[in-house]
Amino acid sequence: MSAIDVEKSHAAKLRIMAARILAQARWPYVSTLLYSLKLVESDPQEIPTMAVDTGWRLYYSPDFVMSESAEALATVLLHECMHCMFEHGRRFEALPIAGKRNTIWNYAGDCAINQVLDDAHMPWTEVTPVRYVNIEHQGVDRTMPTEVAYSVMVAYQLEHPEDEQDSDCGSVSGGARRQYELDPDDSDSPANTINQQDNILDSVSSAIISAQNDGEDIPDALARIARDRLEPTLDWKKLLAFNLRSAVSNVAGRRDYTYARPSRRQGAINAAGLKFILPAMRQPQPPCVAIVLDTSGSISDDTLDVYLSEIRGIMNAVGISSGVWVLPCDSKVHEVEKIRSFDVTKVRIKGGGGTDMSVGIHEALRIRPRANIVVTLTDGATPWPETKPVGSIIYLAVLTTKSFASYVPQWMTTVIMEDVSV
């Protein structure tokens, strides 16, 4: 490398460092991420501007850097940071496999990022950034999530191959490792691991929320990403299905080993002075599910309709042939029925009085053959059993009112039906 090249290389690195300080001044809450990007000088023939890989290493062309002001480069750095924050690489991997095109995905992601930067009045480089106006004729607009914009663009470009638009910010935006990218375990610039990246994103998200709580003007997209990360809203239907199927799986079992309880032969192993632990065998048995259905006066007809709909879902998870026991309950248990059909209108709903789900739970334990799983559908404004009943029974509490969740015993798994009006 000539003396001139060495001087340019040094000057380019200093300019990026200056740009990083300016970017930090604009959005101080992304500082941890800004300084975690490891700088890698690259051949201008391979990297005309800047790019980032999945290990959060920032590749840059010294020619590009020296042709731009530090203020403009700060905008580019924030652009690359947002690819990391929006987790475009992971989201690309989650797309349907057939016909995935990372350059189109990158273009859609770039438009979303650049809209945020434009709204924040960030200065741009001499290189014109891609914007939604460039793809409006394809049917894309700024209100679309990146996944939707991508699918619209793919459909359009399949019909208009001559109008193809693409972009590439490196593998951080999705797709395979690029030729210019370093090995993950490169000795000079090792990649950030997934755990390190998650810790950094948690830190940035926390800083964003703190700044917003302090009254700072935070871009809506960043605030949303931060809250989604630290305060995720789970789909209660999926959560209920997961917990129920997990419970059914544990009860029904498979012919496999488990360390959840010791083997019957463990006593002999201990007596012999040996240290290892033998697993027990999980034996198959048909699951028996009992549903305690809150029919008290505080439950509206609309909510009861939702409960009945969920009983269909529970039957689907358990199996129609097995059926489920339904126990309508207010302050006492009414007629107990076993349902073996999706026609839940056959359930005779009685009640309308006070509320005491503990009565229903105790009655569920009297069912023979014994119930292995007890699901309680209620608003949560109810007494609960003071202690966990004896036996290896799995309990799920499905509530329509989040504020009552703290009253549910810890030995019950709680699912909140967030989107139900009561």
For 172-211, how does the pLDDT look when each residue is reduced to its tens digit (9 = 90+)?
A: 998 889 999 999 999 999 999 988 998 999 999 999 999 9
Torsion of CA 46, 51, 57, 62, to 10 degrees: 60
What's CA 149's distance to the chain center, in Å?
20
CA distance 44 to 221: 32
Residue 234: pLDDT over 60 = no
Q: How far apart are the first and last CA of the chain?
A: 73
> How many beta carbons lie within 10 A of that of residue 392, not counting itself?
9
For 246-266, how does the pLDDT look when each residue is reduced to its tens digit (9 = 90+)?
A: 666 665 554 455 555 666 666
> How many beta carbons lie within 10 A of that of residue 345, not counting itself?
9
CA distance 2 to 108: 40
For 345-400, how does the pLDDT look when each residue is reduced to its tens digit (9 = 90+)?
A: 667 788 888 999 999 999 999 998 888 889 999 989 899 998 888 776 788 888 88
- Residue 4: the pLDDT is 63
For residues 86 and 237, which has the higher predicted lDDT (pLDDT)?
86
Cβ atoms of 368 and 383 within 8 Å: the answer is no
Residue 226 contacts by C-beta under 8 Å, 6 or more apart in sequence? 204, 205, 206, 208, 209, 212
Residue 134: pLDDT over 80 = yes
For residues 246 and 24, which has the higher predicted lDDT (pLDDT)?
24
- Residue 320: the pLDDT is 54
Angle at 377 between CA 354 and CA 392, to 5 degrees: 110
- Residue 67: the pLDDT is 95
Cβ atoms of 57 and 191 within 8 Å: the answer is yes
- State pTM to two decimals: 0.59
Question: 48-62, 257-271, 303-317: lowest mean pLDDT where?
Answer: 257-271
- Residue 272: the pLDDT is 62
- Residue 421: the pLDDT is 44
Residue 313: pLDDT over 50 = yes
- Residue 292: the pLDDT is 94
Strand duo 50-52 + 57-60: pairing: antiparallel
Residue 93: pLDDT over 80 = yes
The H-assigned helical ranges of 58-168 are 62-67, 70-85, 88-93, 102-119, 146-159
pLDDT band at 143; cut points 50, 70, 90: confident
Average pLDDT, the chain: 84
Domains parsed from the chain with CATH numbers: 3-230 (no CATH), 237-416 (3.40.50)
Q: Percent of the chain beyond pLDDT 70? A: 80
Longest dimension (CA), the chain: 91
- Residue 157: the pLDDT is 87
CA distance 320 to 225: 41
Cβ atoms of 367 and 337 within 8 Å: the answer is no
pLDDT band at 422; cut points 50, 70, 90: very low
- Residue 27: the pLDDT is 97
- Residue 384: the pLDDT is 94
pLDDT band at 111; cut points 50, 70, 90: very high
- Residue 283: the pLDDT is 52
Task: Of 116-120, 245-249, 295-299, give the range with the top mean pLDDT.
Answer: 116-120
Q: Stretch 137-166: mean pLDDT, rounded? A: 86
- Residue 255: the pLDDT is 46
pLDDT band at 342; cut points 50, 70, 90: low
Residue 121: pLDDT over 80 = yes
Residue 402: pLDDT over 60 = yes
Residue 64: pLDDT over 60 = yes
Q: Percent of the chain beyond pLDDT 90? A: 46
For residues 302 and 41, which has the higher predicted lDDT (pLDDT)?
41
Residue 322: pLDDT over 70 = no
- Residue 123: the pLDDT is 95
For 371-382, how does the pLDDT look when each residue is reduced to its tens digit (9 = 90+)?
A: 888 999 998 989
Type of residue numbered 328: P
